Structure 1
Amino acid sequence: MKKTLLMLLVVLLLIPLSPNAKDHLSNKNDVFSFLQEAFQAQISLSDQTRTKEEIIDVLSPYFTEKYQKMFWKENIFEEDGKFVTYGSDFAFYYIPFFHYSEETKVVIFQESIYVLQFFPSTTHGPVSYTDHYEGVLLKKVDGGWKVDEYLYDNIPKSIIDKAY
């Protein structure tokens, strides 16, 4: 009983209070906080099965409909008539494992924000990869900010040059 109550409390804390997009991201720290909340929303989907509507409610404050469709197709699986995500070391459309430090670059425009980081190659651990950039593109949607694109080595050179 105590375990169930504790799990319910954790889930309620992870569910955003407002279904609206974040309306003000004026600096790097605001952007980092927003992306960390978005990532927490994504990983919260692995703790229990949910209805389609519940998943949309969790993702909508942070992600455009376009992004949600890509995330859904890649990461959400049906289980007994409900839906869940499974853990992975390399799953597309999750917020990248940014360091949220000077290594993570933020380029802010009036209607878009690019967040990117260079990840040097590694052969250690369960996942290996070559040098690459990862990032996300946030866009203004109905006066608020939402993640609209996942960027994997397709970040415009002009943005990389501006960031570095």
Structure 2
Amino acid sequence: MEKKKFWLLLFIIGIISAASGQAGQTQASEFTKENALTVVENAFRTQVSLSEKPQSQEKIEGKLSKYLTADMTESFMSENVYKIDGGFITFGSDFASYYIPFFSYDESTNVKYINGHWYIWEERTNEEEGPIESVEGIEAVVLSEEEGTWKVSAITYDVPDFVQSR
């Protein structure tokens, strides 16, 4: 009798595990191109807002960690957050490290999901106008899932050929 209870318990645990895995796959597949663009745009706006007024390091980290992975948050803060009277702040620059690129979020913005990551990028030319200066070439953001949430995990100036060709 004890063996039957044991096997029944294992069977139930197996069913629950399978159902949980299916739910996780469904949730991941519901994350769309539009969701990816929203995460990147919100991350950009959050970074820019950090130059508005001094605040605590904890508050800055809390804001960034909604959109950036733990590693990206740490890198951004060590490169861009400065102590001043009244707290901590960022100072803007066209070429500051770990900032989300200034994307147009239109047809020139490419978005692809490949091998468990979202790639968002634009190709830049020297012909662009506006207040933000950019370098000719590719500017890209990579989203990865961290603890069930899609976050910016990398900013790069190179998109792998296998991503661009698909």
Q: 2:162 matched to which residue of 1? A: 158
* Residue 81 of structure 2, aligned match among 52, 76, 80: 76
CA distance in 2: counterparts of 1:123 and 1:61, whole angstroms = 31
TM-score by length of 1: 0.74
Larger helix share, 1 or 2: 2
* Residue 66 of structure 1, aligned match among 55, 67, 71: 71
Unaligned runs of 5+ in 2: 1-26
Q: Per the alignment, in what secondary structure is the counterpart of residue 139 of structure 1? A: strand
The number of aligned residues is: 139
The structure that has the greater radius of gyration is 2
* Residue 39 of structure 1, aligned match among 36, 39, 44: 44
Q: 1:12 matched to which residue of 2? A: none
Q: 1:144 matched to which residue of 2? A: 149
Q: 2:60 matched to which residue of 1? A: 55
Question: Could you give the per-residue CA deviations for residues 24-68 of structure 1, whole angstroms, max 9, x where no partner exists?
Answer: 662222222221111111111111111110111110110011111
State, as a whole percentage, how many aligned pairs show the same letter: 34
Aligned partners of 1:121 and 1:131 also within 8 Å: yes
Unaligned runs of 5+ in 1: 1-22
CA distance in 2: counterparts of 1:130 and 1:86, whole angstroms = 20
CA RMSD of aligned residues (A): 2.3
Change (3 A) 1:74 1:142: same
Q: Which amino acid aligns with 1:72?
A: M
Aligned partners of 2:94 and 2:134 also within 8 Å: no
CA distance in 1: counterparts of 2:48 and 2:122, whole angstroms = 21
Aligned partners of 1:76 and 1:83 also within 8 Å: yes
Q: CA deviation at 1:131?
A: 2.4
Q: CA deviation at 1:146?
A: 0.6
Does structure 1 residue 88 correspond to structure 2 residue 93?
A: yes
Q: Which amino acid aligns with 1:93?
A: Y
Aligned partners of 2:39 and 2:151 also within 8 Å: no
Question: Could you give the per-residue CA deviations for residues 93-120 of structure 1, whole angstroms, max 9, x where no partner exists?
Answer: 1111111111111111362111111001
Change (3 A) 1:161 1:89: same
Change (3 A) 1:130 1:93: closer
* Residue 121 of structure 2, aligned match among 116, 119, 135: 116
* Residue 108 of structure 2, aligned match among 103, 124, 149: 103
